[in-house]
Structure 1
Amino acid sequence: MPTLLVIIASTRPGRVGLPVGRWFQQFARQHGAFDVRVADLLELNLPMMDEPKHPRFGDYQNPHTKQWSQIVDAADAVVLVMPEYNYAMTAPLKNALDYLSREWQYKPVGLVSYGGASGGLRAQQMVKLVVTTLKMMPVPESVSIPFVANYIKEGALEPTDFMIQSAQAMLDEMARWEEALRSLRASTRHS
Protein backbone atom coordinates (compact mmCIF):
# COMPACT_ATOMS: atom_id res chain seq x y z
CA MET A 1 0.00 0.00 0.00
CA PRO A 2 1.45 3.44 -0.88
CA THR A 3 2.32 5.81 1.94
CA LEU A 4 0.63 9.19 2.36
CA LEU A 5 2.46 11.77 4.47
CA VAL A 6 0.13 14.35 6.05
CA ILE A 7 2.13 17.43 7.02
CA ILE A 8 0.60 19.75 9.62
CA ALA A 9 2.09 23.14 8.72
CA SER A 10 0.96 25.41 11.55
CA THR A 11 3.26 25.75 14.53
CA ARG A 12 1.82 28.63 16.54
CA PRO A 13 0.31 28.25 20.03
CA GLY A 14 -3.44 27.65 19.90
CA ARG A 15 -3.23 26.54 16.29
CA VAL A 16 -6.25 25.23 14.43
CA GLY A 17 -4.05 23.05 12.26
CA LEU A 18 -3.94 20.24 14.78
CA PRO A 19 -7.70 19.49 14.84
CA VAL A 20 -7.89 19.96 11.05
CA GLY A 21 -4.91 17.63 10.61
CA ARG A 22 -6.34 15.03 12.98
CA TRP A 23 -9.66 15.04 11.11
CA PHE A 24 -7.96 14.66 7.75
CA GLN A 25 -5.62 11.94 9.02
CA GLN A 26 -8.58 9.92 10.28
CA PHE A 27 -10.53 10.51 7.06
CA ALA A 28 -7.57 9.43 4.93
CA ARG A 29 -7.18 6.23 6.94
CA GLN A 30 -10.86 5.42 6.43
CA HIS A 31 -10.52 6.19 2.72
CA GLY A 32 -8.22 3.17 2.52
CA ALA A 33 -6.03 3.98 -0.50
CA PHE A 34 -2.96 4.87 1.57
CA ASP A 35 -0.96 3.94 4.63
CA VAL A 36 -1.22 7.30 6.44
CA ARG A 37 1.63 8.88 8.40
CA VAL A 38 1.79 12.33 9.95
CA ALA A 39 4.58 14.88 10.29
CA ASP A 40 3.78 17.79 12.58
CA LEU A 41 6.12 20.69 11.86
CA LEU A 42 5.75 21.88 15.45
CA GLU A 43 7.14 18.58 16.73
CA LEU A 44 9.76 18.36 13.98
CA ASN A 45 10.98 21.85 14.94
CA LEU A 46 13.27 22.39 11.94
CA PRO A 47 15.47 25.46 12.40
CA MET A 48 15.55 27.97 9.58
CA MET A 49 17.55 26.37 6.77
CA ASP A 50 20.93 25.60 8.27
CA GLU A 51 22.47 23.17 5.79
CA PRO A 52 25.74 24.35 4.25
CA LYS A 53 25.16 22.63 0.90
CA HIS A 54 22.30 23.01 -1.55
CA PRO A 55 19.55 20.39 -1.01
CA ARG A 56 19.91 19.07 -4.57
CA PHE A 57 23.17 17.38 -3.49
CA GLY A 58 21.48 15.44 -0.68
CA ASP A 59 24.67 15.77 1.35
CA TYR A 60 23.02 16.64 4.66
CA GLN A 61 25.12 17.51 7.69
CA ASN A 62 22.52 17.88 10.45
CA PRO A 63 20.60 15.07 12.18
CA HIS A 64 17.29 16.95 11.88
CA THR A 65 17.74 17.22 8.10
CA LYS A 66 18.62 13.54 7.79
CA GLN A 67 15.50 12.64 9.80
CA TRP A 68 13.30 14.92 7.67
CA SER A 69 14.81 13.43 4.50
CA GLN A 70 13.94 9.90 5.64
CA ILE A 71 10.36 10.87 6.54
CA VAL A 72 9.67 12.53 3.19
CA ASP A 73 11.58 9.97 1.13
CA ALA A 74 9.41 7.17 2.56
CA ALA A 75 6.22 8.85 1.31
CA ASP A 76 4.56 8.19 -2.03
CA ALA A 77 2.15 11.12 -1.75
CA VAL A 78 1.86 14.21 0.44
CA VAL A 79 -0.98 16.28 1.86
CA LEU A 80 -0.26 19.74 3.24
CA VAL A 81 -2.64 20.85 6.00
CA MET A 82 -2.02 24.58 6.04
CA PRO A 83 -3.39 27.90 7.16
CA GLU A 84 -3.18 31.09 5.17
CA TYR A 85 -1.04 33.88 6.63
CA ASN A 86 -1.13 37.20 4.76
CA TYR A 87 -2.30 35.52 1.52
CA ALA A 88 0.54 33.00 1.74
CA MET A 89 1.77 29.71 3.21
CA THR A 90 3.43 29.68 6.62
CA ALA A 91 7.16 30.27 7.00
CA PRO A 92 7.66 26.85 8.69
CA LEU A 93 6.05 25.13 5.67
CA LYS A 94 8.21 27.01 3.17
CA ASN A 95 11.27 26.18 5.26
CA ALA A 96 10.35 22.48 5.45
CA LEU A 97 9.87 22.34 1.68
CA ASP A 98 13.17 24.12 1.03
CA TYR A 99 15.21 21.71 3.16
CA LEU A 100 14.92 18.92 0.60
CA SER A 101 14.89 18.42 -3.15
CA ARG A 102 14.96 14.89 -4.57
CA GLU A 103 12.77 13.54 -1.76
CA TRP A 104 9.76 15.54 -3.01
CA GLN A 105 10.03 14.60 -6.67
CA TYR A 106 7.22 12.88 -8.58
CA LYS A 107 4.79 12.77 -5.68
CA PRO A 108 1.20 13.92 -5.90
CA VAL A 109 0.38 16.60 -3.37
CA GLY A 110 -3.04 17.43 -1.97
CA LEU A 111 -3.90 20.67 -0.23
CA VAL A 112 -6.10 21.07 2.84
CA SER A 113 -6.25 24.77 3.65
CA TYR A 114 -8.18 26.83 6.13
CA GLY A 115 -8.57 30.40 7.21
CA GLY A 116 -11.10 33.20 7.08
CA ALA A 117 -13.29 34.11 4.13
CA SER A 118 -10.93 32.63 1.52
CA GLY A 119 -10.47 29.30 3.30
CA GLY A 120 -6.78 29.43 2.47
CA LEU A 121 -7.20 29.41 -1.31
CA ARG A 122 -4.58 32.13 -1.83
CA ALA A 123 -2.07 30.08 0.18
CA GLN A 124 -2.94 27.08 -2.01
CA GLN A 125 -2.10 29.06 -5.13
CA MET A 126 1.19 30.22 -3.65
CA VAL A 127 2.31 26.76 -2.53
CA LYS A 128 1.63 25.36 -6.01
CA LEU A 129 4.46 27.53 -7.38
CA VAL A 130 6.87 25.94 -4.92
CA VAL A 131 5.77 22.31 -5.14
CA THR A 132 5.76 22.25 -8.94
CA THR A 133 9.34 23.55 -8.88
CA LEU A 134 10.13 20.56 -6.64
CA LYS A 135 8.61 18.31 -9.37
CA MET A 136 5.52 17.48 -7.35
CA MET A 137 2.06 17.20 -8.92
CA PRO A 138 -0.58 19.24 -7.07
CA VAL A 139 -3.95 17.64 -7.77
CA PRO A 140 -6.70 20.10 -8.73
CA GLU A 141 -9.10 18.73 -6.12
CA SER A 142 -8.53 20.21 -2.68
CA VAL A 143 -10.17 20.93 0.67
CA SER A 144 -10.75 24.57 1.60
CA ILE A 145 -12.27 25.45 4.97
CA PRO A 146 -13.47 29.07 5.27
CA PHE A 147 -14.14 30.50 8.73
CA VAL A 148 -12.55 27.37 10.18
CA ALA A 149 -13.11 28.40 13.82
CA ASN A 150 -16.86 27.85 13.29
CA TYR A 151 -16.21 24.12 12.80
CA ILE A 152 -13.96 23.48 15.80
CA LYS A 153 -15.94 22.10 18.74
CA GLU A 154 -14.18 20.96 21.92
CA GLY A 155 -10.84 20.76 20.13
CA ALA A 156 -12.08 18.71 17.16
CA LEU A 157 -13.11 19.63 13.64
CA GLU A 158 -16.73 18.90 12.79
CA PRO A 159 -16.62 18.65 8.99
CA THR A 160 -19.43 19.65 6.68
CA ASP A 161 -20.66 17.38 3.90
CA PHE A 162 -18.77 19.58 1.45
CA MET A 163 -15.48 19.11 3.33
CA ILE A 164 -16.03 15.34 3.33
CA GLN A 165 -16.88 15.27 -0.38
CA SER A 166 -13.85 17.44 -1.18
CA ALA A 167 -11.51 15.20 0.83
CA GLN A 168 -12.91 12.10 -0.86
CA ALA A 169 -12.44 13.56 -4.34
CA MET A 170 -8.92 14.73 -3.53
CA LEU A 171 -7.80 11.36 -2.15
CA ASP A 172 -9.36 9.51 -5.09
CA GLU A 173 -7.39 11.69 -7.50
CA MET A 174 -4.20 11.39 -5.45
CA ALA A 175 -4.44 7.61 -5.64
CA ARG A 176 -4.59 7.83 -9.45
CA TRP A 177 -1.59 10.16 -9.64
CA GLU A 178 0.40 8.14 -7.12
CA GLU A 179 0.11 5.08 -9.34
CA ALA A 180 0.88 7.03 -12.52
CA LEU A 181 4.02 8.62 -10.99
CA ARG A 182 5.31 5.47 -9.30
CA SER A 183 7.92 4.55 -11.93
CA LEU A 184 9.32 8.10 -11.96
CA ARG A 185 9.55 8.08 -8.16
CA ALA A 186 11.37 4.75 -8.18
CA SER A 187 14.14 6.29 -10.28
CA THR A 188 14.83 8.99 -7.65
CA ARG A 189 14.79 6.93 -4.45
CA HIS A 190 17.93 6.04 -2.55
CA SER A 191 18.60 2.32 -2.49
Structure 2
Amino acid sequence: MTVHPLVVAVVVRSTEPGRFGTVATAWFARQVERRDDFKLDLIDLATTSPDSLRERIDTADAAVIVCPEYNHSFPGELKTAIDSVRRPWYAKPVAFIVYGGRSGGLRAAEQLRLVFAELHAVPIRETLSFHQVPDCFTAEGEPLEPGTTEAAATLLDHLAWWARALRDARASTPYPG
Protein backbone atom coordinates (compact mmCIF):
# COMPACT_ATOMS: atom_id res chain seq x y z
CA MET A 1 0.00 0.00 0.00
CA THR A 2 1.43 3.39 -1.03
CA VAL A 3 1.00 6.17 1.49
CA HIS A 4 1.11 9.61 -0.07
CA PRO A 5 2.78 12.35 1.96
CA LEU A 6 0.50 14.82 3.65
CA VAL A 7 0.69 18.32 2.23
CA VAL A 8 1.11 20.84 5.03
CA ALA A 9 0.58 24.50 4.16
CA VAL A 10 2.68 26.70 6.44
CA VAL A 11 1.11 30.15 6.25
CA VAL A 12 3.09 33.22 7.31
CA ARG A 13 2.34 36.88 6.67
CA SER A 14 5.86 37.76 5.49
CA THR A 15 9.20 36.02 5.03
CA GLU A 16 11.19 39.25 4.76
CA PRO A 17 14.76 38.98 6.09
CA GLY A 18 15.15 40.38 9.59
CA ARG A 19 11.60 39.59 10.75
CA PHE A 20 11.14 37.17 13.61
CA GLY A 21 8.40 35.31 11.75
CA THR A 22 10.94 34.53 9.04
CA VAL A 23 13.32 32.96 11.58
CA ALA A 24 10.60 30.88 13.23
CA THR A 25 9.14 29.83 9.87
CA ALA A 26 12.51 28.79 8.44
CA TRP A 27 13.28 26.72 11.55
CA PHE A 28 9.85 25.04 11.49
CA ALA A 29 10.13 24.36 7.73
CA ARG A 30 13.36 22.47 8.44
CA GLN A 31 11.49 20.35 11.02
CA VAL A 32 8.80 19.51 8.43
CA GLU A 33 11.32 18.72 5.69
CA ARG A 34 13.12 16.19 7.93
CA ARG A 35 10.00 14.03 7.97
CA ASP A 36 8.82 11.56 5.33
CA ASP A 37 5.12 11.95 6.14
CA PHE A 38 4.83 15.62 5.07
CA LYS A 39 5.38 17.66 1.95
CA LEU A 40 5.87 21.37 2.75
CA ASP A 41 4.00 24.16 0.98
CA LEU A 42 5.29 27.48 2.37
CA ILE A 43 2.76 30.25 1.75
CA ASP A 44 3.86 33.85 2.25
CA LEU A 45 0.75 36.02 2.40
CA ALA A 46 2.81 39.03 1.29
CA THR A 47 3.36 37.46 -2.13
CA THR A 48 0.40 35.08 -2.57
CA SER A 49 -2.82 36.13 -4.30
CA PRO A 50 -6.19 35.27 -2.69
CA ASP A 51 -6.97 32.85 -5.56
CA SER A 52 -3.63 31.09 -5.16
CA LEU A 53 -4.11 30.93 -1.39
CA ARG A 54 -7.55 29.34 -1.81
CA GLU A 55 -6.19 26.78 -4.29
CA ARG A 56 -3.20 25.88 -2.12
CA ILE A 57 -5.30 25.47 1.05
CA ASP A 58 -7.74 23.34 -0.95
CA THR A 59 -4.84 21.07 -1.99
CA ALA A 60 -3.34 20.92 1.51
CA ASP A 61 -4.13 18.19 4.01
CA ALA A 62 -3.27 20.41 6.99
CA ALA A 63 -2.15 23.93 7.79
CA VAL A 64 0.14 25.66 10.25
CA ILE A 65 -0.37 29.37 10.87
CA VAL A 66 2.70 31.38 11.93
CA CYS A 67 1.80 34.75 13.40
CA PRO A 68 2.58 37.38 16.01
CA GLU A 69 0.25 38.51 18.72
CA TYR A 70 -1.07 41.95 17.84
CA ASN A 71 -3.27 43.91 20.28
CA HIS A 72 -4.12 40.72 22.24
CA SER A 73 -5.16 39.01 19.00
CA PHE A 74 -3.70 38.43 15.53
CA PRO A 75 -3.09 40.79 12.59
CA GLY A 76 -6.07 41.97 10.55
CA GLU A 77 -4.55 40.99 7.21
CA LEU A 78 -4.33 37.39 8.46
CA LYS A 79 -8.06 37.46 9.26
CA THR A 80 -8.78 38.80 5.77
CA ALA A 81 -6.68 36.03 4.22
CA ILE A 82 -8.34 33.31 6.31
CA ASP A 83 -11.82 34.58 5.45
CA SER A 84 -10.99 34.82 1.73
CA VAL A 85 -10.43 31.05 1.62
CA ARG A 86 -13.54 29.88 3.52
CA ARG A 87 -14.65 26.40 2.29
CA PRO A 88 -11.19 24.88 1.65
CA TRP A 89 -10.57 25.10 5.42
CA TYR A 90 -13.49 22.73 6.13
CA ALA A 91 -12.49 19.47 7.85
CA LYS A 92 -8.77 20.29 7.85
CA PRO A 93 -6.52 20.32 10.92
CA VAL A 94 -4.80 23.59 11.76
CA ALA A 95 -1.89 24.20 14.15
CA PHE A 96 -0.36 27.46 15.36
CA ILE A 97 3.11 28.88 15.83
CA VAL A 98 2.74 32.17 17.67
CA TYR A 99 5.10 34.69 19.16
CA GLY A 100 5.34 37.94 21.05
CA GLY A 101 6.33 39.46 24.38
CA ARG A 102 5.43 37.89 27.70
CA SER A 103 2.37 36.05 26.43
CA GLY A 104 4.37 34.40 23.67
CA GLY A 105 1.49 34.99 21.28
CA LEU A 106 -0.84 32.61 23.09
CA ARG A 107 -3.70 35.14 23.01
CA ALA A 108 -3.40 35.16 19.20
CA ALA A 109 -3.62 31.36 19.16
CA GLU A 110 -6.77 31.39 21.32
CA GLN A 111 -8.43 33.90 18.99
CA LEU A 112 -7.41 31.86 15.94
CA ARG A 113 -8.91 28.71 17.46
CA LEU A 114 -12.31 30.44 17.55
CA VAL A 115 -12.03 31.62 13.95
CA PHE A 116 -11.01 28.21 12.62
CA ALA A 117 -13.67 26.36 14.63
CA GLU A 118 -16.26 28.59 12.94
CA LEU A 119 -14.77 27.59 9.58
CA HIS A 120 -15.31 23.89 10.37
CA ALA A 121 -11.55 23.36 10.66
CA VAL A 122 -10.01 21.32 13.47
CA PRO A 123 -7.59 23.39 15.57
CA ILE A 124 -5.22 20.96 17.25
CA ARG A 125 -4.20 21.37 20.87
CA GLU A 126 -0.42 21.52 20.39
CA THR A 127 0.91 25.03 19.80
CA LEU A 128 4.45 26.40 19.55
CA SER A 129 4.85 29.67 21.39
CA PHE A 130 7.90 31.92 21.43
CA HIS A 131 8.37 34.47 24.20
CA GLN A 132 10.56 37.56 24.28
CA VAL A 133 11.38 37.55 20.59
CA PRO A 134 13.85 37.83 18.91
CA ASP A 135 16.13 36.74 21.77
CA CYS A 136 14.72 33.19 21.86
CA PHE A 137 16.70 32.01 18.78
CA THR A 138 20.43 31.77 18.13
CA ALA A 139 22.10 33.73 15.34
CA GLU A 140 22.03 30.45 13.37
CA GLY A 141 18.24 30.25 13.61
CA GLU A 142 17.89 27.57 16.28
CA PRO A 143 15.61 27.96 19.32
CA LEU A 144 17.29 28.50 22.69
CA GLU A 145 14.47 27.02 24.79
CA PRO A 146 15.20 23.37 25.64
CA GLY A 147 12.61 20.96 24.30
CA THR A 148 11.43 23.17 21.42
CA THR A 149 12.44 20.69 18.72
CA GLU A 150 10.69 17.90 20.62
CA ALA A 151 7.57 20.10 20.96
CA ALA A 152 7.61 20.67 17.20
CA ALA A 153 7.84 16.91 16.63
CA THR A 154 4.84 16.35 18.92
CA LEU A 155 2.87 19.05 17.09
CA LEU A 156 3.71 17.42 13.75
CA ASP A 157 2.82 13.93 15.04
CA HIS A 158 -0.63 15.15 16.11
CA LEU A 159 -1.10 17.18 12.94
CA ALA A 160 -0.22 14.10 10.85
CA TRP A 161 -2.73 11.94 12.72
CA TRP A 162 -5.56 14.43 12.22
CA ALA A 163 -4.55 15.17 8.63
CA ARG A 164 -4.56 11.49 7.70
CA ALA A 165 -7.86 10.80 9.46
CA LEU A 166 -9.59 13.82 7.95
CA ARG A 167 -8.13 13.25 4.46
CA ASP A 168 -9.49 9.69 4.52
CA ALA A 169 -12.87 10.88 5.83
CA ARG A 170 -13.16 13.60 3.15
CA ALA A 171 -12.28 11.04 0.47
CA SER A 172 -14.92 8.56 1.58
CA THR A 173 -17.66 11.02 2.55
CA PRO A 174 -17.75 14.65 1.46
CA TYR A 175 -17.89 17.06 4.38
CA PRO A 176 -21.47 18.34 4.79
CA GLY A 177 -20.53 21.94 5.75
Equivalent residue for 1:43? 47
How do 1:1-191 residues align onto structure 2 when only pairs under 5 Å count?
A: 1-10=5-14, 14-44=18-48, 64-154=49-139, 156-186=141-171
Q: 1:85 Cα shift?
A: 0.5
1:160-190 alpha-carbon deviations (Å, 9 max, x no partner): 332212111111001111111113433559x
Q: 1:146 Cα shift?
A: 0.8
Alignment-mate amino acid for residue 91 of structure 2: Y
CA RMSD, Structure 1 to Structure 2 (Å) = 2.1
User: Would you say the 8 A contact 2:138–2:144 is kept in 1?
Assistant: no
Percent identity over the alignment is 34
> Could you state the TM-score of these two structures normalised by the residue count of structure 1?
0.81
- Unmatched 5+ stretches in structure 2: none
Q: 1:24 Cα shift?
A: 0.5
Q: 1:159 Cα shift?
A: 4.5
Give the secondary-structure state (helix, strand or coil) at the position aligned to 2:81: helix
> Could you state the TM-score of these two structures normalised by the residue count of structure 2?
0.87
Q: Which moved more, 1:30-39 or 1:70-79?
A: 30-39
Q: Work out the CA distance in 2 between the residues paired with 1:32 and 1:20.
A: 21
Alignment-mate amino acid for residue 12 of structure 2: I
The count of aligned residue pairs is 170
Q: 1:151 Cα shift?
A: 2.3
Equivalent residue for 1:48? none
Q: Work out the CA distance in 1 between the residues paired with 2:151 and 2:138.
A: 21
User: Would you say the 8 A contact 2:68–2:99 is kept in 1?
Assistant: yes
Q: In structure 2, do the counterparts of structure 1 residues 181 and 143 end up closer, same or farther at CA, with 3 Å as the change threshold?
A: same
Give the secondary-structure state (helix, strand or coil) at the position aligned to 1:147: coil
Q: 1:113 Cα shift?
A: 0.7
Runs of 4+ in structure 1 displaced over 3 angstroms?
10-14, 152-155, 183-189
